[in-house]
């Protein structure tokens, strides 16, 4: 498995973990996983020469970032 393939696999795994954590109600874990996946996908897109692959990486990174932002916005305000 090449380095790129490992990063692709890891980004996919983080997205799966984030979705599972979100479903289980573990918001903080889901947010972290979505943001980490987004970072990896953007890293992959940075060195991609093929437009379709670049577009796929950036679209998935944007999706992860939006999911994380949405979850952050929905967190309850801290009481105090």
In the chain, domain spans: 3-72
Q: Are 45 and 9 in contact (CB under 8 A)?
A: no
Q: What is the pLDDT of residue 29?
A: 97
Q: What is the pLDDT of residue 76?
A: 78
Residue 25: Cβ within 10 Å count? 8
* Average pLDDT of the residues in 59-75: 96
Q: What is the pLDDT of residues 12-50, one digit of tens each?
A: 999 999 999 999 999 999 999 999 999 999 999 998 999
Q: What is the pLDDT of residue 80?
A: 60
48, exposed or middle or buried, with CB in 10 Å at 0-12, 13-18, 19+? middle
> Which CATH number does 3-72 carry?
1.20.58.80
0.85 cut: is pTM over it? Answer: yes
């Amino acid at each position: 498995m090449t380095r790129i393939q490992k990063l692709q696999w890891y980004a996919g795994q983080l997205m799966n973990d984030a979705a599972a954590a979100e479903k289980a109600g573990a918001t903080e874990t889901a947010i972290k996983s979505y943001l980490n996946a987004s970072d990896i996908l953007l890293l992959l897109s940075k060195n991609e020469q093929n437009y379709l692959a670049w577009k796929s990486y950036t679209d998935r990174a944007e999706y992860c970032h939006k999911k994380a932002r949405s979850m952050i916005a929905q967190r309850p305000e801290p009481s105090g």
